[in-house]
Amino acid sequence: MQKLGWNAVGRRFYLIDTFDGPILTQYSEQEVRSGRLTAAKQALEAGAYVTDMDRIRANFATWQNTVVVQGAIPEILAKTEFSGVAFVHVDMNCTLPELAAFQFFWDRLSPGGVVLFDDYAYYGHGSQRDAIDAAARARGTEVLSLPTGQGLIIK
């Protein structure tokens, strides 16, 4: 945000997360079979998720127009107002909320806007990739698989 000169750009930055780790009931049977649920449980047990809301808000306090939203996707999206979205970074390691976020933000995404899927081509995340590919095709677009394992769409 410092490199972007965030306080001068006049845009809002939304950080949306449960800040409590993944919602374990959102994992599909396929994700359970592929080990994604087990990985999520292990990460929770290891303390891999930042859950200290005071720390999170303090970290972003320097940046004007930053909105920290605590909640689960998809439920929290309908309770938050968005318009003219330029960039969406999707990283929830679970098909249901990732697909819901993509579907929700696609019509709000400005022409030239970017959607970045963090785990798109990572081993074990096939159900996420398949669902995102189908949703992208339904919208007349496709996902570019990056060498980083991420997926990219430019509207």
Q: Return the pLDDT at 50.
A: 82
The domains of the chain are located at 6-154
- Of 3.90.226.10, 3.40.50.150, 3.40.50.620, 3.40.390.10, which CATH number belongs to 6-154? 3.40.50.150
Check residue 24 and report its DSSP letter. G
Backbone φ, ψ for residue 100 (5° rounding): -60, -40
Q: Provide the whole-model pTM.
A: 0.91
Q: Return the pLDDT at 123.
A: 84
Backbone φ, ψ for residue 56 (5° rounding): -65, -50
Give the pLDDT band of residue 37 (cuts 50, 70, 90).
very high
Count the residues in the chain. Answer: 155
